[in-house]
Chain A
Amino acid sequence: MITIQDLHFHYKKGRPLFEGLNLELEAGHVYGLMGKNGAGKSSLLKQIAGLLFPKSGVCTVMGYESRLRQPAFLSKLFLVPEEFYLPQVTINRYVNTYAPFYPNFDTKAFQQYLDEFQIPRDQRLTDMSYGQKKKVIISFGLAANTKCLIMDEPTNGLDIPSKSQFRKVIAAAVNEEKCIVISTHQVRDLDNLIDSIVVIDNHKIIFKQDVETVAERLSFRSVKRLEEADLVLFAESTGLGHSIITENAGGVPGRLDMELLFNAVLEPSGRINQLF
């Protein structure tokens, strides 16, 4: 669905953001795009959406070259940006003016998402808080039923109950034809939501695996003393002991600690990456 080949990009000459970046994302998955601040998560999403153009290389989505921003492509893709704009109108008027551009827009589903987020339909968008507006644009993006849905830091500005609601609506919206990409630096927000992990660092994709494979091969647990565990691949000290990653000898999928995995993947030794 999304194919990025040999992508090179920079904002300023001599300071590359992407160097020969390659990435293939398929329909039917929810991808979590993770990376440190400034690693290029938002820029990569903008490349996919056609808001930024590669200096060299190609970015195609559903066969469309994204930089051309053709209407047929844009009607199949929806981006929920970190900083978004909503006009000064009611939700109804917003839907009436924006929905005609998305042929598969589902009005009934939109209402269901609003209900889930407890957003009154007759409220003006200008009278809403940032979090409420974010819920409206997320609901619209899901109801647009585009084959590709991209969300940049969607949980920013959402309170704790809303984050659970967010996970619930995303889970309900997933299907075999849809590719959802969620970028975040708050990796815990992606727990039980994504099925594939993509980590970007040092101008490239350094890790891409589905959650099931990771859980089958790695074991995440806490120990009081490091000596209690054998063959520790990665360890992080916590107040009560250590969080560790070891090889999953039994192969039975267990709990996956996204934050611990992320830190382990970014470790210079690259021991985790070598296992995949």
Chain B
Amino acid sequence: MQTSNVFHAPRFGAYFKKHIVDNLRLYLMSLVVLVGVLVAIGVISILTNNRETVRVSFIYPFYAILLFGAGLIFTGFSFIQLGDKPKGIDYLLLPASHFEKFLTTLLITTAGFLLVYHIAFGTATFIGAGLVSLSRDTHVMDPSMPDDFRNDMTQLYHWWFMGQAIILLGSVYFPKYSIIKTLFAVFIFILVIGLVNAAFMNILFYGHLMHWAASAPFFGVGITEHPHMEEYRSIFLESPHWMRETLYFMWRFILPPVLWVLAYFRLKDKEI
């Protein structure tokens, strides 16, 4: 029977296994370093703050910063092999489909990373709180959650997936120094959007803008009413609610998968 050239479960399984075997040592070392760093940061910050109890709101910034830091650095190395000719040849010529190779990377940098990160963070919190509790002879963790915690976490993950998708796409385009190059490309992209938007706003609201750059792309523009009167008022014209909601929806749910698809097609077109 002819097997699919796009996805074949046993071949995908074999490729996934190969990927793990090839990178197991690196992954384990990274995990140990991550737990070590988390424990060190946790213990030092608890001890230096001299708090009696540690709330979730205190841990949250560490959780978020390291989630982004470690996750995006990890994703940045996704296609590092394409920057090295021998490794790139080995990668591209291994008889698995581009989809299977890409899916492996996507699963490892999203589900795999999040799973390992939470295990590492939980372990580090347990070890760190345990050490401090032992030294003070009292229980230091306060498990109560702030009211808006769930919303904060949801927002955090939307931003994380967006960042992950951008870095993943960047790592296919720039296998070497991918994070720096991707961030630079994002900066240029935002700058261009901002300048184009400012140019359009200056044309559309000529003579009425509060300032030449008083506009936020997709969100609105700051203008002055009756600029010749002595007392005038400035207002911020917002784009329609439905438009902002649509853009926000797209930002959260459409853009990350679109960037993944772009990364996949870029991988298919990769030459060495």
Partners in one complex: yes
Interface pair B89/A89, CB less than 8 Å apart: no
Q: Mark B222-233, 1 if CB is under 8 A from A, else 0.
A: 000000000000
A276 within 8 A of B: no
Residue of A81, A93, A101 near B14 (CB, 8 A) is: A101
Interface pair A74/B8, CB less than 8 Å apart: no
* A133 vs chain B, min Cβ distance (A): 11
B3 within 8 A of A: yes
Decide: A71 near B96, CB < 8 A? Known: A52-B272, A97-B18, A101-B14.
yes
Residue of B18, B100, B271 near A53 (CB, 8 A) is: B271
Interface pair B25/A72, CB less than 8 Å apart: no
Our count of residue pairs bridging A and B at CB distance below 8 angstroms stands at: 72
Q: Which residues of B contact A88 (CB under 8 A)?
A: 25
Q: Which residues of B contact A102 (CB under 8 A)?
A: 95
For A79, A84, A101, the residue with the greatest tally of chain B CB atoms inside 10 Å of its CB is A101
Q: Which residues of A contact B89 (CB under 8 A)?
A: 51, 79, 81, 84-85
Q: Which residues of B contact A81 (CB under 8 A)?
A: 85-86, 89
Q: Which residues of B contact A71 (CB under 8 A)?
A: 3, 5, 8, 11, 95-97, 100
Interface pair A93/B21, CB less than 8 Å apart: yes
Bound-state Cα–Cα, A52 to B271, Å? 5
Looking across the interface, which residue of chain B has its beta carbon closest to that of A146?
A: B95
Bound-state Cα–Cα, A181 to B131, Å? 64
Interface pair A72/B93, CB less than 8 Å apart: no
Residue of A50, A83, A97, A100 near B85 (CB, 8 A) is: A83
Q: Which residues of A contact B96 (CB under 8 A)?
A: 71, 74, 101
**Main SS of the interface on chain B?**
helix
Bound-state Cα–Cα, A53 to B272, Å? 9
A179 within 8 A of B: no
Q: Mark B80-123, 1 if CB is under 8 A from A, else 0.
A: 00001111011011111110100000000000000000000000
Bound-state Cα–Cα, A41 to B89, Å? 16
A83-128 residues at the B interface, CB under 8 angstroms: 83-85, 87-89, 93, 97-98, 100-102
Looking across the interface, which residue of chain A has its beta carbon closest to that of B98?
A: A69
Looking across the interface, which residue of chain B has its beta carbon closest to that of A74?
A: B95
Interface pair B272/A51, CB less than 8 Å apart: yes
* B96 vs chain A, min Cβ distance (A): 6
Looking across the interface, which residue of chain B has its beta carbon closest to that of A76?
A: B95
Bound-state Cα–Cα, A242 to B272, Å? 43
Interface pair B90/A74, CB less than 8 Å apart: no
Bound-state Cα–Cα, A200 to B25, Å? 44
B211 within 8 A of A: no
Bound-state Cα–Cα, A52 to B25, Å? 32
Decide: A51 near B97, CB < 8 A? Known: A83-B85, A85-B87.
no
Q: Mark A57-83, 1 if CB is under 8 A from B, else 0.
A: 000000000000111101101010101
* B95 vs chain A, min Cβ distance (A): 4
Decide: A74 near B94, CB < 8 A? Known: A85-B87, A97-B21, A100-B14.
yes
Q: Which residues of A contact B84 (CB under 8 A)?
A: 85
A5-51 residues at the B interface, CB under 8 angstroms: 46, 49-51
Looking across the interface, which residue of chain A has its beta carbon closest to that of B272?
A: A51
Bound-state Cα–Cα, A50 to B14, Å? 22
Bound-state Cα–Cα, A97 to B96, Å? 13
Interface pair A85/B86, CB less than 8 Å apart: yes
Bound-state Cα–Cα, A89 to B87, Å? 15
B17 within 8 A of A: yes
* A134 vs chain B, min Cβ distance (A): 12
Bound-state Cα–Cα, A87 to B22, Å? 6
- 5 CB contacts below 8 A, A to B, read A74-B93, A83-B85, A84-B86, A97-B21, A101-B11
List residues of A whose CB falls within 8 A of some B CB.
46, 49-53, 69-72, 74-75, 77, 79, 81, 83-85, 87-89, 93, 97-98, 100-102
List residues of B whose CB falls within 8 A of some A CB.
2-3, 5, 8, 11, 14-15, 17-18, 21-22, 25, 84-87, 89-90, 92-98, 100, 268-269, 271-272
